[in-house]
Each structure stands twice: as structure tokens, then as C-alpha cells.
A and B are shown apart, each in its own frame.
Chain A
Amino acid sequence: MIKLSELTKDYGTTIAVNKLNLHVAAGEIYGFIGPNGAGKTTTIRMMGGILAPTSGNIIIGGINMAENPVEAKKMIGFVPDRPFLYEKLTGMEFLRFSADLYDVKRDIFQQKAEQLLQQFALWSWADELIEAYSHGMKQRLIIASALLHDPRILIIDEPMVGLDPAAVHMVKDIFKELAAKQTTVFISTHTLSIAEDLCHRIGLIHEGTLLAQGTLDELKHIAKLGQARLEEVFLSIIKENTFI
């Protein structure tokens, strides 16, 4: 469902992502972890069509992002790391705006929007201006808006930042449900426990290079650690710069 081949982003002074190759199947939850400045957000932004790669390809559901970005983006629900929104719109108005851009059927919009706002505990705030929302509420609204058009792929940068424990629990359940319905979920996160609990496979990126990827057990094997937690695996691989 997601295929990155030889994906590179060179900012001139630094190579943020260096010849990244990875494949994520339908229904898979893929966790992308790495230290600060590893290239996670750059990769995610390229996958979301917000940043152009210097070289390499991004194939989303069989469509090349560089050749047909509009069709590729229609399949994606994108959630950035920082929840910047149109502050002068209300939550409901923002969802309608998103629905119009993603061509959500008019007859199902109202019901779908209401269901998502209820689910994300934003229904009572639906007609308030977004500028009055808290950071967590904005984050929940963005996730709700990303789910509005039933995307086949969900790309999320730091999904749990600003969310309260109840919201974290709910979002985790939603991701699992989506994966069960064959939606691909690509998550970048610093929170290793989330990657550990949620992800079918985990990729570890450091200084723009994918050092290791696989299930948690496979990563433990790579790190030559027996019953360790992901945190120890992470530190070990980063320290050793173990390549796949």
C-alpha cells in the first residue's frame, strides 16, 4: 500500500533522508521511530505530498506521488505533528471544508461529521471557533478530519502529542479497528510504548538512514537482546548503528 524506494531528501546542508526503502502492506500498522532530527517528519511530509523528495519514489496505493499527487492524496488521511488549523472557522465548518476538498458525499457528511465529533468528544464544541480549542482538542479535530473521507492510508506524525490518557486509549483503538478493516496506518512517534503496543512492524531511522525494521521480536534479534523492551532495543541499535 505504501512503497518508498531510494527516497532521499537533501536540504543542501544536510541529507535528512538517505535512500530510504520500505514497504507497508494493507492493514498494517507501521511505527516509525528514531531520535530527534532522524528524518521521521521529513519522510512523513514527503509521503503526505507536502515535501518533494530530492530523488526516489513514493508509491501510494499503486500511484506515484510525483506523477499524480491529487489521486495519491485522495487515499491519504494526513495528520501533522503540530495542529495548525484555520483558527477563525468552527470545528464543524473545518470538517465541511475538508469534506469538500476530499469529495466526501454530501448526503453522508452530516452523519459522518457528527459521529466523528461525538467519538472525539468534540460535539459540544462543534460550533465554537477553533481558536478557542486547546492543543489536544485541535489534535483530535485534525485526526477526525483525516478520518472523514475513510482514507485507505493514514499517515500520522506524533499522534498522541497533547492528547489526554482517555483520548490516547481511544485513538489506539481506532487505529486497531482501521487496521482490521485493511486501512494502512503509518505512525511516526517518540513514544516507544505506543509503537510497542500498537505496531505490527517498526522501522528505526537514524541520521536519515533506516537502521533496522521488523516486528518487535525481529528487532530484538537484530539488537541481540533477549527479553528487552523496545527502549533498550532502540538504544542498542542507535548505539551500534546496526544496518538491516
Chain B
Amino acid sequence: MNTILPLLRPRVFSSINSLRRGNKKNNWSRIFMFGTMGIVFWIGIFIIFYRVLSYFHSVQDFGDILAMKLISMTIITFFMLLLFSNIINCLSQLYLSHDLPLMHSLPVSAKDIFLSRWIISTFDSSWMILAFSLPIFLSYGLIYKANIIYYLIFFMAMIFMCIISSALSGFLVLFGAKILPAGRIRTILIIMGVMMVITIILVLRLTRPEQLVNPDSFASVVLYLNSLQTPSSPILPTTWITDAIKAALNGEARTYLLNIALIVTFALMLISLNNIAADKVYFTGFSKSQTTPQRLFAPLKYKGFYWENLLNFLPRESKAFAVKEIRTFFRDPSQWPQLFLMAALIVIYIYNFSVLPLDNTPIKTIYLQNLFSFLNIGLAASVLSAISARFVFPAVSMEGEAFWIIQAAPVRTRNFLWIKFFLYNIPLIILAEILVVSSNFLLRVSPFMMVLSVITTFFLVPAVVGLATGLGAVYANFKLENPANVVTSFGGLLFMILSFGLIALVIILEAGPVYQIFMADLRGQSLSLMQIMWVIVSFGLAFLLCAFATIYPIRLGEKSLLIK
């Protein structure tokens, strides 16, 4: 037991050392930037909840019921998030981290390694939820004028909720890893997680939540409340946590003391059980995780058919990169399941346009259709920006420690980057054009808007992909355990800001001339010389901007990657 603190030390010292001046590139600027973003987000949550709860509080009876419903919904959501993130973190910390062989070679018990790793995993999974639950419950406290006991109870309830979810996850992971190798569990979890997110998104969207704001849709308050039903069994820890917070808010001492006692004892019992289980099964599971699991899906082979031959039109070097990139992508279980997520987002994107109530608006439909179509270019490009941030920006970093192969090979860095660019640009341009054209069909836009959308997208997507490839090279990190995480770096954020800025600039440049052409067409007039000049200059500038964003970042990336 007295070895747990020394086992935690490497992690604590690593965190402290990473804060040392000059120890890591951009570290303080990163902390400042993400800190500012976090504070803004925190204040945003507080303002929203404060306003919503003020409104609820002003509505007699019904408002308070809604406010309490909101507490239980928040607790259940947080608990599920904690459970999922703890499972993923526990798997990494207990079975997949690179330093585990060293840990297990030390003269310490497997139980102590488990406990130290479990503590780290609990902290990593919980601190953010704890931090962002504060503004929510602070607004409750202020609106309901709660005393200091409420804050104390809330704080205890949250801390023990984190411990309970983490202990439950530890339990699940310990026994899961005994049955299946840890690597396989992570794969299955990632796939399940993606499927769960897709299901939630689809269900939420297809139930058309916008109808909730339409009072005609509900026959009575009872039905409305039933639609907000959340599970609340007395044997669920989430019920105890919710009841403790609610009771503290209403000053019911007996209820909150009982529930807090239930939460604390349950958490302590789970920790003890985890400890016993770890002693029995942790090392067996760890040992199993050292073996390489079989491939989840056997490679598909048809007689005489090789999909690689479909790329024979490419130059040899480019084909080699393309084949390598495609294979790596489809064999990485943290990558390919995200395609399903993308597919779900596309379905919802197009579905949203199909349910737009264009005929029920006071504005003339023809204006609205074409306005939506124009804004749709920006929206599609923004979706593409997000996809690029996830897939294109980390593309160079994904080479990882194997980047020496590219450096040592007779390949120009510029070619390497351009090949990466085209590999992502082609599918993304097709995707963007599908989004824009299909939504334009649903909007029944004019031929001019259709052509404009297709052409603008054709130039805007390469600009976004070029920006992602180039900045991804400038801010490449080949040493990350999970290279996809590079998107959360300073470079990733810079890409998102620049990408949205670029899209906004192109849309602004095109907005004036498009309006002039559209109106002239509607009125059956021709454009004046001045208007024609304006159209040429604006479209020319938009084109130049796109060309610049496509080429220049890749040059920067090339300079940055060139051997130093």
C-alpha cells in the first residue's frame, strides 16, 4: 500500500515538468488559450442555466418540477459520460500504456499498480465533468438561495459520483480483460461508442425536437412531463445523488444525510471490491493484453481482384502512398468507425433541408430558398472543416515514429505533402458536392445558385484541405501515443480558426455580387458595368484567396518538415 504514492510520482512529476519554461513548445500559450476557452465556456454554461432556471422559477409549480427534472437528467447524463470515459481511460491506464511493462517489472504488487492507475484514470476522467458541473449547480444554488450545506453536499455527491462511476468501470474492465485481450475490448468499445452516438443523433433528430416548442403538439402538461421521463429507481446511485442534491437545495437534512451516507458507503464498498478483484485477476488480464489479438475482420479476397489495381492510373510513388494510407486507415479501429459517424451526419444534414418549413414562412420562398442555398455553401464547408480537423490535420502526424521511412526514402517532402493533400481532397470534394447539390435539389434553387454552389465548393474544399495538410505538417507531432490527438493542440485550434475565417471571407466576398446577379435575374434586368466590375473583382479575390490557402500552407509545412 505504501508503494502507491511512489507509483503516482512519475505522473505528478511529468505534469509539473511539462509546465517548466521552455520544456515544451507552446505549452504556456496552449494553457492560456485553452484556459481562456474553458473559462468562456464555463461562464456560458452558467449564464444559460441561470437564465433557464430563473425562467422556470418564475413559473409557479410547473417551473420547479421542470427544474428538478433537469437535475436528474443532468446527473444521469454526467454519470453515463463518466462511466464511458472511465472505461476507456481504465483500459489505457491498466492494460495499454507503454510504461506498464516497466511498472510490472518493479517489486510492487499488481494490486498497488492497479490502485495507482485507477486513481490516475479517475482523475483524468472526472476533473472536467466536475469543473463544468459547477456553473450548473451554482446557478441552482443562487436561484433557490441555498445555504452553504447545499454546496458542501453537492460537492461531496459529485466527488463520490466520480468515484462510483470509476470503480464500476474498473470492475467492468478488470473482468472484461480477463475474457478478451484489452486491445480488442477497446476496439469493440470504440465501435459501440460510435454506434451509440449515431443512434442518439439519429433518434434525437428524427423525433423532431423542434416540435417540443410547439404547444399544439401536447394535449396536456402531464403528457409533456412524461416526454421528459428519466429513470429513477431507488436502487440506482444516480437516484441517491439526485435526491441528495435536491434535498440539500430544499434544506431537508434527513434526506440528504441518508442519501450521502448511501453514496459514500456504496463508493467505499466498490473500492474494496475492486481491490479484491484486482488482486485476483489484474495480472492475468495484463498478461493477456501483451499478446497481439487476431485481426477483427479477415481481409476480403476475391479471385484475381485487387482493389489496389483501381489506383493504377496514379504515378507509382503516389499509388504507394495512397495504398498505404487507405490500408492503415481501414485497419485502425480508432479511425474507420468514424466513417459511420460521418455518414449519420450527412443523412441528418440532408434530412434537415428536407423538413425546412419553407412554405410556412412570411418571407417569399424564392428568396429564402436561394438565401439558404448560399449560406449552405458556408455550412457545408464548415462541416468539411470539422472533418478535415479530424482526418486531414493529423494525417502527417499519423506517420508517427515511422516518419524516418519517408525522410530516408528518395521522395521530396513537397511530393509527400501534395500526395497527402490529394488523397484527402478528392473524397472530401465529392462529399461536399454531394451535400451541396442534394440540399440544393431539396431547396429547389435557381440554376445560377446551383452552379455557384458547385463552383465555390470546388475551390473552397481544396483550400480547407490545403490549410489542414499544411498546418498539420507545421504542427506535426510524431511522438504522440495517439497521433489523432494532435488536433487538440495549438495547431489544431489555429487550423479551425483560420479555416472558419477563410470560409467566412469567401462567403462575404461573394455575398454582394451574388445578390446583385440574383436580383437582376429576378427582375429580368442586366448588370451595369460597375456591377460587372464588382462581380469580377469579388469572385477573383475569392478565387485567389482559395488558391493561396491551398498552396501556401503546404509550402510552410514543407519548410517545417524539411530536415533540420
Query: Which residues of A approach B to under 8 Å, CB–CB?
Result: 48-52, 69-71, 73-74, 76, 78, 80, 82, 84-89, 93, 96-98, 100-103, 129, 131-132
Contact A101 B407 (CB under 8 A): no
Cα of A48 to Cα of B332 in the assembled complex, Å: 30
With a cutoff of 8 Å between Cβ atoms, the chain A residues found around residue B320 in the complex are 96-97, 100-101
A49-B407, A80-B404 known; A70+B295 contact, CB < 8 A = no
A-B contacts, 5 of them at CB < 8 A, read: A49-B408, A52-B563, A73-B409, A98-B409, A131-B292
Contact A50 B409 (CB under 8 A): no
With a cutoff of 8 Å between Cβ atoms, the chain A residues found around residue B331 in the complex are 88, 129
Tell me the smallest distance from the CB of B373 to a CB of chain A, in Å. Answer: 41
Tell me the smallest distance from the CB of A100 to a CB of chain B, in Å. Answer: 3
Say whether B98 faces chain A, with CB atoms less than 8 Å apart.
no
Cα of A69 to Cα of B317 in the assembled complex, Å: 16
Contact A70 B319 (CB under 8 A): no
Contact A50 B408 (CB under 8 A): yes
With a cutoff of 8 Å between Cβ atoms, the chain A residues found around residue B319 in the complex are 100
With a cutoff of 8 Å between Cβ atoms, the chain B residues found around residue A78 in the complex are 404, 408
Contact A86 B410 (CB under 8 A): no
Contact of A86 among B324, B407, B409, B564 (CB under 8 A): B324
Contact B316 A103 (CB under 8 A): yes
Cα of A98 to Cα of B562 in the assembled complex, Å: 20
Cα of A78 to Cα of B316 in the assembled complex, Å: 21
Query: A-B pairs with the 4 shortest C-beta distances?
Result: A100-B320, A84-B401, A73-B410, A88-B331
Contact A88 B328 (CB under 8 A): yes
Contact A84 B404 (CB under 8 A): yes
Contact B292 A86 (CB under 8 A): no
With a cutoff of 8 Å between Cβ atoms, the chain A residues found around residue B328 in the complex are 86, 88-89
Which residue on chain A has the smallest CB distance to residue B330?
A88
Tell me the smallest distance from the CB of B21 to a CB of chain A, in Å. Answer: 15
With a cutoff of 8 Å between Cβ atoms, the chain B residues found around residue A80 in the complex are 404, 408
Which residue on chain B has the smallest CB distance to residue A80?
B404
With a cutoff of 8 Å between Cβ atoms, the chain B residues found around residue A93 in the complex are 323-324, 327
Tell me the smallest distance from the CB of A101 to a CB of chain B, in Å. Answer: 4
Interface of chain B residues 388 through 440 with chain A (CB within 8 A) = 400-402, 404-405, 407-412
Tell me the smallest distance from the CB of A105 to a CB of chain B, in Å. Answer: 11
Q: From A48, A78, A87, A101, name the one whose CB has the most chain B CB atoms within 10 angstroms.
A: A101
Contact B410 A101 (CB under 8 A): yes
With a cutoff of 8 Å between Cβ atoms, the chain A residues found around residue B295 in the complex are 129
Cα of A50 to Cα of B406 in the assembled complex, Å: 9
Tell me the smallest distance from the CB of A50 to a CB of chain B, in Å. Answer: 4
Interface of chain B residues 258 through 313 with chain A (CB within 8 A) = 292, 295
With a cutoff of 8 Å between Cβ atoms, the chain B residues found around residue A131 in the complex are 292
Contact A86 B405 (CB under 8 A): yes
Contact A74 B410 (CB under 8 A): yes
Cα of A96 to Cα of B407 in the assembled complex, Å: 17
Cα of A70 to Cα of B409 in the assembled complex, Å: 8
Q: From B320, B332, B407, B408, name the one whose CB has the most chain A CB atoms within 10 angstroms.
A: B408
Tell me the smallest distance from the CB of A18 to a CB of chain B, in Å. Answer: 18
Q: From A76, A80, A86, A132, name the one whose CB has the most chain B CB atoms within 10 angstroms.
A: A86
Contact A51 B404 (CB under 8 A): no
With a cutoff of 8 Å between Cβ atoms, the chain B residues found around residue A85 in the complex are 402, 405
Cα of A218 to Cα of B562 in the assembled complex, Å: 40
Cα of A88 to Cα of B187 in the assembled complex, Å: 14
Tell me the smallest distance from the CB of A98 to a CB of chain B, in Å. Answer: 8
Given contact pairs A98-B409, A101-B410, enumerate 4 new A-B contacts (beta carbons under 8 Å). Answer: A49-B563, A69-B410, A88-B328, A100-B320
Cα of A83 to Cα of B401 in the assembled complex, Å: 9
Cα of A132 to Cα of B295 in the assembled complex, Å: 10
Cα of A48 to Cα of B323 in the assembled complex, Å: 25
Cα of A100 to Cα of B325 in the assembled complex, Å: 14
With a cutoff of 8 Å between Cβ atoms, the chain B residues found around residue A97 in the complex are 320, 323-324
Interface of chain B residues 356 through 402 with chain A (CB within 8 A) = 400-402
A52-B562, A129-B331 known; A86+B408 contact, CB < 8 A = no
Tell me the smallest distance from the CB of B329 to a CB of chain A, in Å. Answer: 8
Which residue on chain A has the smallest CB distance to residue B402?
A84
With a cutoff of 8 Å between Cβ atoms, the chain B residues found around residue A52 in the complex are 562-564
Cα of A82 to Cα of B411 in the assembled complex, Å: 21
Contact A100 B327 (CB under 8 A): no
With a cutoff of 8 Å between Cβ atoms, the chain B residues found around residue A86 in the complex are 324, 328, 402, 405
Which residue on chain B has the smallest CB distance to residue A75?
B410
Contact B401 A82 (CB under 8 A): yes
Contact of B410 among A88, A102, A129 (CB under 8 A): A102
Cα of A182 to Cα of B158 in the assembled complex, Å: 72
With a cutoff of 8 Å between Cβ atoms, the chain A residues found around residue B332 in the complex are 88
Cα of A89 to Cα of B327 in the assembled complex, Å: 7
Q: From B323, B324, B404, B410, name the one whose CB has the most chain A CB atoms within 10 angstroms.
A: B410
With a cutoff of 8 Å between Cβ atoms, the chain B residues found around residue A84 in the complex are 400-402, 404
With a cutoff of 8 Å between Cβ atoms, the chain A residues found around residue B327 in the complex are 88-89, 93
Tell me the smallest distance from the CB of B242 to a CB of chain A, in Å. Answer: 45
Tell me the smallest distance from the CB of A79 to a CB of chain B, in Å. Answer: 9
Contact of B412 among A70, A76, A102, A103 (CB under 8 A): A70
Which residue on chain A has the smallest CB distance to residue B293?
A132
Contact B317 A50 (CB under 8 A): no
Cα of A55 to Cα of B63 in the assembled complex, Å: 75
With a cutoff of 8 Å between Cβ atoms, the chain A residues found around residue B317 in the complex are 100-101
With a cutoff of 8 Å between Cβ atoms, the chain A residues found around residue B400 in the complex are 84
Which residue on chain B has the smallest CB distance to residue A131?
B292
Interface of chain B residues 324 through 365 with chain A (CB within 8 A) = 324, 327-328, 331-332
With a cutoff of 8 Å between Cβ atoms, the chain B residues found around residue A98 in the complex are 405, 409
With a cutoff of 8 Å between Cβ atoms, the chain B residues found around residue A74 in the complex are 410
With a cutoff of 8 Å between Cβ atoms, the chain A residues found around residue B411 in the complex are 70, 101
Which residue on chain A has the smallest CB distance to residue B329?
A88
Which residue on chain A has the smallest CB distance to residue B403?
A84
Cα of A80 to Cα of B408 in the assembled complex, Å: 10
Contact A89 B410 (CB under 8 A): no
Cα of A78 to Cα of B409 in the assembled complex, Å: 9
Cα of A99 to Cα of B409 in the assembled complex, Å: 10
Tell me the smallest distance from the CB of A15 to a CB of chain B, in Å. Answer: 15
